[in-house]
Every structure is written in C-alpha cells, then in structure tokens.
Amino acid sequence: MTPGDTATQVAPAPVSFGEALRFWLKLGFISFGGPAGQIAIMHSELVERRRWISEKRFLHALNYCMLLPGPEAQQLATYLGWLMHRTWGGVVAGALFVLPSLLILIALSWLYMAWGHVALVAGLFYGIKPAVAAIVVQAAHRIGSRALKNRALWGIAAASFVAIFAGNVPFPAIVLAAAVVGAVGGRLRPDEFSLGGGHGSAKASYGPALIDDDTPTPAHARFSPGRLSGVVAAGALLWLLPFGLLWSLYGSQGTLTQMAWFFTKAALLTFGGAYAVLPYVYQGAVGHFGWLNGRQMMDGLALGETTPGPLIMVVAFVGFVGGWQSSELAALWGADQRLLAGCVAACLVTWFTFLPSFIFILAGGPLVESTHGKLHFTAPLSAITAAVVGVVLNLALFFAYHALWPQGWAGGLDGAAAVIAGVAVLALFKLKRSVMETLALCAALGLAWTLAT
C-alpha cells in the first residue's frame, strides 16, 4: 500500500474485541527490539497494514506516552486498546504486552538459579556479560545522539554523571533536579529545552483508517470528572489492597512489602526508558536491600534483552532472585519453597511496576484526546533525558568493570572477556547487528572459551 494512494481505498471494517485480543496476544510474543522496535512493529501493523488508526492519531498518542514515566511502548498499546475498545480493551492490550515476557522470564530465572552453576550455562553467561556492557554503552550513545543537541543539555548530562558516579546521588534526586532545570530553562531559553518528547509530525497517509484524523472522539474517550475520579479510585484500591495485605502479613520490613513499595517508586521514575531506571533498581535492589548481587543483576539484564516485551521486565528477574534467596521467606514458607517464593515475588513486582502505567493511560487518555497537538511539556522531559545519558553512562562503566575485572582491580583484566566486549562493540556500532544477534554471538564465544579452558 503506497502512502498517499487513497482514491480507491475505503476505511476498514470495525474491529471486534476478539480480533483485537488476538493481535495484542501476538504482539506480546513478537515485541523484541526494545521500545523503538516495539513502536515500529505497532506502527507497521496498526497504521500501515491494518489501518486501525491514522498516522496523526498514532503519533499524538505516542507523544503523550513519551511524557509519562513508564515503558512507552506498553503504554502506547494500552492507549490504543483503550481508544478502540474502552477500558477492558486497554487493560487487555497492556496486560498481553507484559504477560508473555513475565512467563518466559520466570522460566529463565528458574533455570538460572537452579542450573546456573553448570558449565554450559556458566559459559554462555561468561560471553553475555561483556556484551551487556557494550549494549548499555550503545544505549547511552543512542539516547545521547538524540538528546544532547546543545551545551546546556551536555552540561546536564555531565552533571548527572558526576552526581551519581562521584557523589552516589540517588536517581530520584537527579530526575527531580533535571526536571526543575528543564522547567526553568524552558521559560528562560525555550529554544534549548524544546527538543525532547516528540516524535515529529505525521507526513504519510496509508489510506482511510478506522480511527482517522477527523474521526470524532468516541464517547468513552471524552473527558468526564466522574470517570476520572472512578479511574483514580479504582487504581488506588488496586494498589492499596495488595499492599495493605502484605503489610498486615509481613510488616513494613518484610521482603515482599519492601519490594512492593520500592517498585512502586521505580514505576514513577522510569523517564527515559528502562536503561534510565536500572541504576535506581541497582542502587536499591543490590546496594540497599541486597536482594541480589551485581553479577546477578548483569545476568538478569542479559535475560531481559533476549525476551519479548519491555526491558523494564528485568524487574521480574530481580523479584524472582530476591524471593528465591530470601531467608525470611524460606523461614516462613519452608526452604523447599524457593520456586514458589521466586514466582510470587516476580509477579508481585510486575504488578506494582506496571499498575501506574495503566492508571496514567486510563485517567489521562480523555484529556489527551481533547488536546490534539497541544502538549507543551517537552522542556522538563528534555532535561530529564539529558540527565539520563549521564546516568546510563555510569551504568555502562559499572557493567564493564564487573565484566572485565571480575576479581577487582587487583585481579587484573580478564583478556578473554575484553576480546568478547570488543567483538560486541564492533558488532553493534560498526556492523549494525541487532542486540539479539550480538548476544548470541558473544554467548557462543564465551561458551567456546569456557569449554576450551
């Protein structure tokens, strides 16, 4: 179908809930490639091929999702599902974007914890760890090349790197400071702080769409104070009930209670994508609570890169490992119930991580539908995205250190790991290979080296 060739085309027939459900389920299993790849898949399927929504309406929804904390691709799926089939359409679309990844990660996490010491698995991870460091460097480069367009934003990135690297400043404080700088800078020097958050304007037409540029906003998507209050109340209840139950069963210091509270905060801080919030997750899960160690965190990120769904699903791995290794849960449930503890913790952190995203979409969607082309909140986002570059660079250095100097500085550089890291950098930056291809190559190299030695 050629953009602009609309003379003989007609709008597609209305889409049933069942047909949409089948598509969202399929999307959950094929959504590889990070947010950019996932958004590209949705654009190709929903705008170009199926024509369920027009280019302009698609980009309008995407721009809103980019302004929110949380995984923008999952939120976009929720938004489009809601626009087409009301609240349940959004819930189904968003949930099916996550559930396949959750189930796959639980299975991989169990294999990792139960069999990770086996030479075969250890060899694969030996090659994957240097590749993860290279992947995070690529993420910093990708975000930076898009976000750092002037000296002001470069300065914010440098300041955030120094703050987290040298000062160990908490990630939430960096986000807040960057947002304040962006808000003030947007007023004083708007040209330098109006770069983030947008994805351009619609330039192509793929024919009449089911939800076209001039399609009236459906009744359920129109703003209503009563509907807004109902969504917020329902969301608060869905958060309070499980959190209150955990508090009553395990107290405020219980492992599961702490996980619920920590990942609720993490869900509200994921501006800039999963790589931006990973340092915060590391600071809390590894440094403060000790649910897992740095090596396991790297392995979890590698597993997250190899599964469909949003990369922030690495939190399911963090929860699983934390539950599996929890002495508190072993004492309460029995040492032979580590698999149960891991599964419960993984599902729990997934619930508290993604619940805010559903609330943001279902509560804010009607407001967005009434403001096509009138979003003016890009200045704080620009500053936050610039700060994210410095934070992600710090994360890349952390991963590189643990991959290349596994025994610390005194133990010397691991030459084989350094070679594998070089291969990963070459594959990603020079040969433009995908993350999956790079991970597979480096895992094979790591296995071959381990077996040879």
pLDDT tens across 29-55, in order? Answer: 878 656 766 887 888 889 888 999 988
Token pair 């891991």 is found at: 342
Pairwise pLDDT comparison (184 vs 340), residue with the higher score: 340
Question: For every residue of 262-289, which 3-state class applies, written as one string?
Answer: HHHHHHCCCCCCHHHHHHHHHHHHHHHC
pLDDT at 372 over 70: no
Query: Residue 53 forms beta bridges with which residues?
Result: 211
Mean pLDDT of 135-160: 84
Average pLDDT taken over every residue of the chain: 85
Question: What is the DSSP secondary-structure string of 208-269?
Answer: --SB-TTPPPPGGGS--HHHHHHHHHHHHHHHHHHHHHHHHHH-TTSHHHHHHHHHHHHHT-
| Percentage of residues of the chain with pLDDT beyond 70 | 90
Query: Would you state the pLDDT for residue 7?
Result: 40
pLDDT at 80 over 70: yes
pLDDT at 389 over 60: yes
pLDDT at 195 over 60: no
Q: What is the dihedral of CA 51, 57, 61, 63, to 10 degrees?
A: 120
Out of 8-12, 64-68, 349-353, 398-402, pick the least confident. 8-12
Pairwise pLDDT comparison (240 vs 304), residue with the higher score: 240
- Give the model's confidence band at 72: pLDDT under 50 very low, under 70 low, under 90 confident, else very high: confident
Query: Would you state the pLDDT for residue 61?
Result: 83
Residue 287 to residues 41, 181, 194, 291, 294, Cα–Cα distance (Å): 37, 28, 35, 9, 9
Cα 190 off chain centre by:
29
Pairwise pLDDT comparison (149 vs 405), residue with the higher score: 405
- Give the model's confidence band at 377: pLDDT under 50 very low, under 70 low, under 90 confident, else very high: low
DSSP 166: T
Alpha carbon distance 34, 273 (integer Å) = 9
- Give the model's confidence band at 194: pLDDT under 50 very low, under 70 low, under 90 confident, else very high: low
CA pseudo-torsion sign 263, 267, 270, 275: positive
Mean pLDDT of 346-355: 96
- Give the model's confidence band at 375: pLDDT under 50 very low, under 70 low, under 90 confident, else very high: very low
Pairwise pLDDT comparison (44 vs 8), residue with the higher score: 44
Query: Would you state the pLDDT for residue 357?
Result: 93
Mean pLDDT of 316-326: 96
Mean pLDDT of 270-287: 78
Mean pLDDT of 313-335: 94
Instruction: Please enumerate in sequence order all residues whose Cβ is within 8 A of that of 295, keeping only pairs 6 or more positions apart, or say none.
Output: 129, 402, 406
- Give the model's confidence band at 165: pLDDT under 50 very low, under 70 low, under 90 confident, else very high: confident
Cα 112 off chain centre by:
22
Q: Are 286 and 297 in contact (CB under 8 A)?
A: yes
pTM, entire model: 0.76
Query: Residue 211 forms beta bridges with which residues?
Result: 53
Residue 64 to residues 58, 75, 374, 442, Cα–Cα distance (Å): 10, 9, 10, 37
Query: Would you state the pLDDT for residue 198?
Result: 43
Query: Would you state the pLDDT for residue 183?
Result: 84
Alpha carbon distance 44, 411 (integer Å) = 50
CA pseudo-torsion sign 360, 361, 365, 371: positive
Query: Would you state the pLDDT for residue 408?
Result: 80
- Give the model's confidence band at 200: pLDDT under 50 very low, under 70 low, under 90 confident, else very high: very low
Cα 393 off chain centre by:
17
